[in-house]
A and B are shown apart, each in its own frame.
Chain A
Amino acid sequence: MSGRSVRRHVTSGLMTSLVAVLSFTAVFALVLILADLIAKGASSLDWDFFTKNPVPAGQSGGGVANAIVGTGIIVGLAALIGLPVGVGTGLYLAEYGSGRLGWTVRFVADVLNGTPSIVIGIFAWTRLVRPMHGYSALAGSVALAALMIPMIARTTEEMVRLVPHSLREAALALGYPRWRTSLRVVARTALAGIVTGCLVGIARIAGETAPLIFTALGNLNFTTNITQPMQTLPHEIYEYAQGPFEEWHRLAWASALVLMSLVLLLGVTARWAIRQRHGAAR
């Protein structure tokens, strides 16, 4: 081998190791963050944490029951608003989306997908908070729903498009009307994929804070009234992390661990649903 050839092979080997090292660095960052979450959060996860409300600032003890319930209500309500519209839009794009309106909707969905969530928050503020003269959980839910609709629409469309044409044609040939074909044959076949998309969408909005700051605001007390300000886990972490008290920081870490587990749980369920679909396809 000439010197030049050796140098070329050494370069190749070095660069190969370099990209491997870079990959493991990225994975290492994830491991580091998860490890910190567990190390700093796990010890605070006790019965009080889940069942008690916050105590006045500076005192120790208390929990985040209000934020956990609030996250459940706001995210649930957002899903209730966002899922039908998102899935419907996705079905429209897959079934009738070849025309100009389809192109427009697809383009708009992509634009909104890239829109900063804080800007969506401004939208909810002008449409709901200002007219109603007050922050409310409902406004937060609408903002989160607006965030999830474009995401769910695009994944639903992709999943429905994966259904083989022969299936649809067979149903139509049997005299099924189009709508029943679409709902009972096509959508049902793509169901696992659609559900996955919905779960991923819910997981994404469950961790969102920015659109909630000036819509749902946050609340130190326990409430289930959706016309009132309501606390959520992400917003509570945001407030507590920046506060001066050790006790708040402790609660923030524990809340972050809970929020992260929730998001991961949804993600893992989604992956499980994908596996179901692949199983069914075989």
Chain B
Amino acid sequence: MTTLPVDPATTPDAVSAPAPTPTPQAEWRTLRGRNVGDRLYRVTLTALALVLPLLLVTLLAELVIGAWPAIQRFGLPFVWTSVWDPVAGVFGAAPMIFGTLASSLLALLIAVPLALGVAIYLTEFSPKWLRQPIAFLVELLAAIPSVVYGLWGIFVLIPFLRSYVVPPLRAALGWTPFFSGVFYGNSLLAGGIILAIMIVPYIAAVSREVLLAVPANQREAAIGMGATRWEAVWTAVVPYGRAGLIGAIILGLGRALGETMAVTMVIGNRHDISLSVLQPAYTMAAAIANEFSEAVGDLHLAAMFEVGLVLFVITVIVNAFARLLIWRVARGTAVGSRAL
């Protein structure tokens, strides 16, 4: 059977048939959909929210494009060769990468016991009236601008190290490669200590939230089994939050890796790999701060871009890893984001 195509608009059926009665829900939806204000509001907010992804994509693109000449020229050996000669146009970032990692690890070595001590004391042992004040004061450490830390490092910390800390250190441990050489002041040690003070508040704040998220019955069960208070903390509470605590520490590491000003001011800025913490070193962030705007020629600039790219990639990986660990313990809440 064949039917002639008819223009639906002209058929009497289509004209007179009543529109299907909408369900109340559908009607509500159309009403909502037609509300111009709602649409405008949503479109505006979405546009604003798109700024951040756009920013990240642009940032990454800029870094890769800027670094491209250096990537092409030096390839992967860029990260493990150590000649940095702007005049000859030869660039290897190994000393900066080494310095960045070494200063950050040194900082962790000092900061982790301090920060975990703060977190454990505040959640488990301190009298109630002391909790808020101490937590507030430790958080204030995070409010001090980086450049003020640098200033303090130059005029207070380094003279202090020179007269009171380094002489006994060298007398006792000068025979090891870690404390050899002459101490001029600006050094890996000074950079590590400044970094440690700067990351303590971050590690402490997140660790504290992790420990607070440990259920009370973990402690009660341990105490009930006859554990002393410290044993309860060390065998029942800390292991329970281990993943989160490691996350907090790695978050601190992420901060330390990217910290610029304070480190630039005290670490000595020398392109050299030395095991001794008394010697000057260099970090990626410090190199960008010092050399970026004074780059000699295009290749030097491209090398600076590549240093930025390496630094960016490392911090992104470290931070993502840290957040993953923290989320495993304190799921759902944006733990630490307030503190950061």
Query: Which of the segments B19-27, B78-86, B145-153 contacts the partner chain?
Result: B145-153
With both beta carbons as reference points, the residue of chain B lying nearest to A210 in the complex is identified as B260
Interface check B165, CB cutoff 8 A:
no
Interface check A136, CB cutoff 8 A:
no
Interface check B125, CB cutoff 8 A:
yes
* A residues 72-118 touching B (CB-CB < 8 Å): 84-85, 88-89, 91-93, 95-97, 101-102, 104-105, 108-118
Among B46, B59, B134, point to the contact of A23 (Cβ < 8 A). Answer: B134
With both beta carbons as reference points, the residue of chain A lying nearest to B292 in the complex is identified as A214
Q: How far is the CA of A88 from the CA of B41 in the complex (A)?
A: 10
Residues of A close to B115: CB separation below 8 A: 26
Question: CB-CB contacts of B237-268 with A at 8 A, as 1s and 0s?
Answer: 00000000000000100110111110001000
Interface check A119, CB cutoff 8 A:
yes
Interface check A273, CB cutoff 8 A:
no
Interface check A70, CB cutoff 8 A:
no
Query: Which of the segments A54-62, A145-153, A220-228 contacts the partner chain?
Result: A145-153
- Contact at A249–B52, with CB atoms within 8 Å? no
Query: Which of the segments B4-12, B174-182, B311-319 contacts the partner chain?
Result: B311-319
* B residues 88-126 touching A (CB-CB < 8 Å): 113-118, 120-122, 124-126
Instruction: Report if A108-B53 is in contact (Cβ < 8 Å); known contacts: A12-B231, A20-B121.
Output: yes
Among B48, B125, B143, B305, point to the contact of A264 (Cβ < 8 A). Answer: B143
With both beta carbons as reference points, the residue of chain A lying nearest to B153 in the complex is identified as A241
Q: How far is the CA of A213 from the CA of B231 in the complex (A)?
A: 50
- Contact at B312–A96, with CB atoms within 8 Å? no
Q: How far is the CA of A256 from the CA of B288 in the complex (A)?
A: 23
Interface check B15, CB cutoff 8 A:
no
Residues of A close to B66: CB separation below 8 A: 122, 126
- Contact at A26–B204, with CB atoms within 8 Å? yes
* B residues 190-221 touching A (CB-CB < 8 Å): 197, 200-201, 204
- Contact at A101–B134, with CB atoms within 8 Å? no
- Contact at A26–B114, with CB atoms within 8 Å? yes
Q: Output the residue of B59, B231, B305 with the most chain A CB within 10 A.
A: B59
Residues of A close to B258: CB separation below 8 A: 114-119
Instruction: Report if A111-B285 is in contact (Cβ < 8 Å); known contacts: A209-B147, A242-B265.
Output: no
- Contact at A207–B145, with CB atoms within 8 Å? yes
Interface check B338, CB cutoff 8 A:
yes
With both beta carbons as reference points, the residue of chain B lying nearest to A241 in the complex is identified as B151
Number of CB contacts from chain A to chain B under 8 A: 274
Shortest CB-to-CB span from A129 to chain B, Å, is 9
Residues of A close to B289: CB separation below 8 A: 118, 210, 213
Interface check B42, CB cutoff 8 A:
yes
Instruction: Report if A177-B38 is in contact (Cβ < 8 Å); known contacts: A26-B138, A115-B312, A209-B145.
Output: yes
- Contact at B145–A260, with CB atoms within 8 Å? yes
- Contact at B56–A155, with CB atoms within 8 Å? no
Interface check A188, CB cutoff 8 A:
no
Interface check B296, CB cutoff 8 A:
no
- Contact at B118–A253, with CB atoms within 8 Å? no
Shortest CB-to-CB span from B145 to chain A, Å, is 3
Interface check A174, CB cutoff 8 A:
no
Shortest CB-to-CB span from A7 to chain B, Å, is 10
Shortest CB-to-CB span from B233 to chain A, Å, is 8
Known: A88-B45, A89-B49, A213-B289. 13 other contacts (CB 8 A): A15-B234, A22-B117, A23-B117, A27-B134, A92-B48, A113-B340, A121-B288, A158-B337, A179-B37, A208-B145, A210-B261, A214-B292, A237-B147
5 closest A-B pairs (Cβ-Cβ)?
A207-B145, A22-B117, A116-B258, A88-B48, A179-B41
